[in-house]
Structure 1
Amino acid sequence: MGRDVNLNRLAVFVALVRAGSFTAAAVQLGMTKAMVSQHLLRLERELGITLIVRSTRRMALTEAGAAFHADCVPLLEQAEAAIERVGTQRSTPTGTLRLTTSTDYGTAVLAPALAEFRRLHPLLHVDLVINDQINDLIAERFDMAVRIGWLRDSSLRATRLGGFRQFVMASPAYLVEHGTPRRPEDLSVHGWIAMSALATPLRWTFTRGRTRRIVRMRQVMQANNAAAIRGLVLAGAGVSVLPDYLAEDDIRAGRLQVLLPQYHLLEGGIHAVYPDPQPPAKVRAFIDFMRDRLAKR
């Protein structure tokens, strides 16, 4: 029988007991006195028991009605508290923000950004997972991922946070020993450190105005993430492509030199990817924070 009970009628019943009369309850609930009476009658019919006895002037709980009321009050209070907690998560960044990104971007950019974001939202906990795999956000219970480069087709939602440029780089020591390339074609005789995670790690397209030049490199080493490639280039092991966010400090300090600056490589995107069609406040706040932060770079 309980499976057939309309739970909305519980709130009307509790409000009626609290108000002490059908007239007062109708005013509090914003409905007519007849509607309050109908809700009570249907609730009693659904339960198969009388909850309130009433006359033209007064009403009183039955023994069963008093016991049922005592059970309903905490039930409704818990429901209201649950709704309020959900509303808080919708409007205020709280709980734990669990996110993932690549090793190089997580270490160089996301970790310091999260430290600042956490200072702005002290009620929030952060769980950052960095690796070079494409995590299953739903199965692994991630709120979001920050993905670098070019997105694959998926059913997930994505928001662009910003972009990054790619540069061909070498250490000054390498260039002293092997010479500085002047044209894209010159790179084919240099030792290339390949990013093995790319679909075509040895084939690169250079643009200058309307001119496009495609060059195939000669691989001497390879690595599976940009941080490792940066270390190899810094050590003078060869030439490679690095993203601006990973090499800016090295360029300023003179540890790395940009080659062929008059040519451009394809720019990549930085995206927030998330499974929730209505993301909670913690996700929306971090997306806004990162978009503003990257715009100021």
Structure 2
Amino acid sequence: MAELRDLNFNRLVVFAAVVEAGSLSAAAERLGLAKTMVSAHIQRLEAEVGATLIVRTTRRSNLTEAGRTLYEASRECVRVASDALAAISAASGPLRGAVRVASPIDYGVLVVAPALAELRRMHPALEVELVCSDGYVDLVAERIDVAVRLGNLKDSSYRSAPLGQYLRWLVASPAFLAGRQRPVLPSELAELPFVALSTLTHPYTLSLRATSGERERVRCKRAFLANTASACSAATLAGAGFGLLTNFSIGEDLAAGRLVRLLPQWAGEPAAIQAVYPSTSQPSPKVAAVIEALRTYLTRIDQPRAIARR
């Protein structure tokens, strides 16, 4: 039976990198080691634990049951050690190293990118990578330190930090409204072409709430379907139909008259903006800095919005 004193912990780092990178070659490139050295570390680690961890073929490497068990522990060891080193570094000076942040595309472009740019100016030694995608991002598999999620969270295994809220407003272009009678009731929206987001569970069903608290659901006719929020915005601006678009993405278009709000007393249900990160006792200094940068930026850009709504 292997004992803790028999393990070389450097090899746990190499083993975790091989699992996450998917191959010895990719892990070697990530770690800056020769492939033969990575292979030797894995072989010696298997000898130390007394079990086969990885079954290697010509095309890929597969974990054994023992390998999966050790990987879960190795991943946690590496993460805790990395957080400790980052905490020590943060206590003694500016943030250093790399941080990977994930975000939906339009929110990443409009909010996250400028917030991270400000963070980077404060910490020039910090390497920032922003990954924008409207699809689901697996934080562990894609080595994401913190992800911004819009709406209800589905990741019970992750920690989360609230950033704010957003609304979806009913809008249309002046060209689309020309020659049409504007709706005065939510039910009248069912007769108008609608630009829908296909990634939603029920893309053609609107769940609306009035400022008075009244709620109503409207089933819209099929007209235009797109798989990204940016495409829905573009189609709405081009007059393909009316849209239910996020308030953070359309402020300039409303101010310039390129879009017009419909039924301004109605909006989609308020939805949360949250940062999620892999489960740890405390967020690492880099993750904490990203969250604080986002909160600071959101507070600043929300102030003029609040004044404009008065």
Q: TM-score, normalised by structure 2?
A: 0.66
Alpha-carbon distance, 1:269 to partner: 1.1
Gaps of 5+ in 1: 6-81
1:282 matched to 2:286: yes
Alpha-carbon distance, 1:87 to partner: 4.0
Alpha-carbon distance, 1:223 to partner: 0.6
Q: Which residue of 1 aligns with 2:103?
A: 101
Q: Does the CA contact (< 8 Å) of 1:207 and 1:213 recur in 2?
A: yes
CA displacement 1:90-111 (0-9 Å, x = unmatched): 5442211101111111112111
Alpha-carbon distance, 1:276 to partner: 4.1
Q: Does the CA contact (< 8 Å) of 1:89 and 1:280 recur in 2?
A: no
Query: Runs in 1 of length 4+ with deviation above 6 angstroms?
Result: none
Which structure has the greater CA radius of gyration? 1
Q: Which residue of 2 aligns with 1:260?
A: 263
> Quick one: which amino acid aligns to residue 273 of structure 1?
V
CA displacement 1:12-46 (0-9 Å, x = unmatched): xxxxxxxxxxxxxxxxxxxxxxxxxxxxxxxxxxx
Q: Distance in 2 between matches of 1:206 and 1:280?
A: 38
User: Would the alpha carbon gap of residues 136 and 179 (structure 1) be closer, same or farther in structure 2, given more than 3 Å must change?
Assistant: same
Map residues 9-20 of structure 1 onto 2, 5 A cutoff: none
CA displacement 1:109-164 (0-9 Å, x = unmatched): 11122111111111101011111121111121110101112211420001011111
User: Would the alpha carbon gap of residues 295 and 274 (structure 1) be closer, same or farther in structure 2, given more than 3 Å must change?
Assistant: same
Alpha-carbon distance, 1:292 to partner: 2.1
Q: Distance in 2 between matches of 1:135 and 1:86?
A: 24
Q: Distance in 2 between matches of 1:4 and 1:204?
A: 60
CA displacement 1:57-100 (0-9 Å, x = unmatched): xxxxxxxxxxxxxxxxxxxxxxxxx9994443454422111011
Map residues 10-89 of structure 1 onto 2, 5 A cutoff: 85-89=85-89
Q: TM-score, normalised by structure 1?
A: 0.69
Gaps of 5+ in 2: 7-81, 303-310
User: Would the alpha carbon gap of residues 104 and 83 (structure 1) be closer, same or farther in structure 2, given more than 3 Å must change?
Assistant: closer
Q: Which residue of 2 aligns with 1:174?
A: 176
Q: Which residue of 2 aligns with 1:17?
A: none
Aligned equivalent of 1:117, options 119, 126, 132:
119
User: Would the alpha carbon gap of residues 210 and 289 (structure 1) be closer, same or farther in structure 2, given more than 3 Å must change?
Assistant: closer
Q: Distance in 2 between matches of 1:210 and 1:109?
A: 29
User: Would the alpha carbon gap of residues 182 and 84 (structure 1) be closer, same or farther in structure 2, given more than 3 Å must change?
Assistant: closer
> Quick one: which amino acid aligns to residue 237 of structure 2?
L
User: Would the alpha carbon gap of residues 125 and 210 (structure 1) be closer, same or farther in structure 2, given more than 3 Å must change?
Assistant: closer
1:157 matched to 2:163: no
Aligned equivalent of 1:292, options 291, 296, 300:
296
Q: Which residue of 1 aligns with 2:143?
A: 141
Q: Which residue of 2 aligns with 1:245?
A: 248
Alpha-carbon distance, 1:178 to partner: 2.7
User: Would the alpha carbon gap of residues 284 and 172 (structure 1) be closer, same or farther in structure 2, given more than 3 Å must change?
Assistant: same
Aligned equivalent of 2:185, options 162, 167, 183:
183
Q: Does the CA contact (< 8 Å) of 1:233 and 1:239 recur in 2?
A: yes
**1:264 aligns to what SS in structure 2?**
strand
Q: Which residue of 2 aligns with 1:211?
A: 214
User: Would the alpha carbon gap of residues 260 and 90 (structure 1) be closer, same or farther in structure 2, given more than 3 Å must change?
Assistant: same
Q: Distance in 1 between matches of 2:83 and 2:148?
A: 30
Q: Which residue of 2 aligns with 1:196?
A: 198
1:129 matched to 2:131: yes
